[in-house]
Amino acid sequence: MERNKRQILTEYLVLRTQKGSASAFRQLYELWNEELTQYTAIRIQNPNAIPDVLQEIWLQITKGIVRLKDPACFPKW
């Protein structure tokens, strides 16, 4: 499977985040938040709930990213 620049950047940012880099996490957020927002909007279908759901998702990512064994799995995770 050929990896694109976004996948490679994601893996790099996940690894840096796992080592405690706040700037890497901010970059990961900027890279993925729009797509995650769109996905959430499709799944939730309640525009008023989307910000709260996104906040909870990012909170769970923050707490759990250190346990992610394969950074390539971040998009599916």
- Residue 69 has a pLDDT of 96
pLDDT at 1: 54
Quick one: pLDDT at residue 5?
95
Given this model, what pLDDT does residue 45 score?
Answer: 85
Alpha carbon dihedral 69, 76, 65, 40, in 10-degree steps, equals: -170
- Cα torsion angle, 32, 35, 40, 33, sign: positive
Query: What CA–CA distances, in Å, run from 8 to 21, 28, 68?
Result: 17, 12, 16
Please give the chain's pLDDT, 77 residues, in tens.
568 999 999 999 999 999 999 999 999 999 999 999 999 999 998 999 999 999 999 999 999 999 999 999 999 88
